[in-house]
Chain A
Amino acid sequence: MPEPSTTELTWTSDEMMAVAAARELSDGTVCFVGIGLPSTAANLARATHARQAVLIYESGCIGAKPDHIPPSIGDGVLSRSADAVVAVPEIFSYWLQAGRIDVGFLGAAQVDRWGNINTTVVGEYVSPSVRLPGAGGAPEIATSCQRVIITLRHNPRALVEKVDFVTSVGHGDGTGTRQRLGLPGAGPQVIITDLGILTPDPQTCEFTMTALFEGVTRDTVMERTGWEIRVAAEPALIGPPTAAELTALRKFDANK
């Protein structure tokens, strides 16, 4: 596929989000990859600036190098391209729990101002208005990875004041919670949405909007966030996707 010329590039907000999320992974990082957008972003990183990143899937695939993004975390393209495939009890105990993973890359149905994640229910647990898939690997990924990256689309039902159910712990109710609970990892350090990037306040651990995509206004961020979100006085502007990033991203689709 020819590289698009930079003057005529257009992209969707989902593509911008995937590119921004991919940029958060540095080369050589060992990353436990969640289903959906995290898988797209982690593979994009591996296809561009982070060729030595090690992608680990909870199905037991270590060092997977798929040429397209499969819908599940256990498609054959993952196991066939992996450096090693291990049993599921082993991936969670010897690899995740033992502290071998740098970054956990997670999606979420709901995330709150402290980075706690809900993928269990909307509403009351015993009589939910929406039953979500449940925990999967996320609680222990959020516990044991050295840090966590979360990515989800930005709307007030997704970014909420307080999650309906704590499936996976972020910063609990603020600074000190993780230490008090004895959680080994540092927890969520960045949330990437289709508006920009949130990072935890160094003092309180409350997530604040510190970087925006081109054309995104402060008002849009406030409207689409379920809490009184703070936006940095001078938020960083996130650079648009490069031709190389878009080409690599679209190549995954072309390889399907």
Chain B
Amino acid sequence: MRSPFHSEQEAFRFLLLLTLALIPVVLAAALGPTWLALVVLAVVLGVLALRVARLRMRKVRGLALPVKMAPPHMGSAAERRVLVVANDTLGDEALLSEVERLASVPDTHLLLLVPALISPGARLTGAIDGLLDQARARLKTALDRAGGHGLVVAGEISEADPLEAIEDTFATFAPDEVIVSTRSERAASGLEPRLAGLVRERFAVPVRHLVLEPDSAAQEPDEDTEARYRQEFGEVAARKFGLKTLVGAGILAAVLLSMVALVQSSERDEARAASQAAEQAAALPPVAKLVVLKVIPEGKLGPEGEKHDAFTTTEFAVRAGQPQQLRIDNTDTVPHSITSPGAGVNIVVMPGTHTYTLLVRHAGVFLWFCAFRCDEWAMQHPGYMSGYITAS
């Protein structure tokens, strides 16, 4: 994968900028509502995008950079390495003849670079095979022609932007001369005529521009024509880039606005749900945090006039899912229980005073009873050794 950075220093600068840019976003997220963090993120992204767009625009316009560079020569001092960059002109007789002429010079290494000119749209949709096949076919024609004359010529197809492809080739092939072949007007599958000027302003090697038209000799444009190419095609490229930037900014803004709206809507829903829950809770009957009761053997008179074992409290009101404390003084000498299979409750009440936790997970009214064999009549009658748990 291509690194977007030219140097470690550049990468470090980017990392520093990114870290600084994230600080306000993190602060907004920590101290304010989510929508504010999104707005700050949008502003930060906007500023970064603007910076990137300005740098890109400078490249697109091809403004005169003051410094040209080149790597050391590769190979022996006698060797001459020539890079020929072409696409739609590669099949032209004039260029093929020039390639043959150059390749026949002793100690000359020739590399044909064919940028496939894959647009971002084609890359996004994956429709690149046709363009690559076209570039392969053109390169094959040129290589076959040179090979037929016993000449050794290397070829390469690049999916990258032409200028980036040339820059990559400088790292691997280190040409001593570059020849850029274009039409005078840009065709759909052709290189821009201003490419030669862009190469000339970046690399410290001689650059020749061969302008070819079908069935005519190659022309080498003068300085004024090159300046005109740069002006005309630079403006076109800048306009296209500006339009793309606007569309991109519009899409980004729409996505961020949608996110802010979504977050605000979600926050409103949450607030509404919390409010409803609070209202429902307020409407429910109050529950005691701690219920104090006793178990008294033969402590309550039955309707038939006999005394029966009984809990002093047999109706429990609880909140579903919330534990309630029961302090029970079992004055009997044997254990009893509060058992309700429906509520999932089974509290064994030992003799003496102890604290127990009553927890019912679901709302409902559940019958409970003492599961220890004691007063059989009382075990079957709510209000004695039986009763109800109401969970709300």
Is B a genuine binding partner of A? Answer: no
- B-contacting residues of A (Cβ < 8 Å)? none
- A-contacting residues of B (Cβ < 8 Å)? none
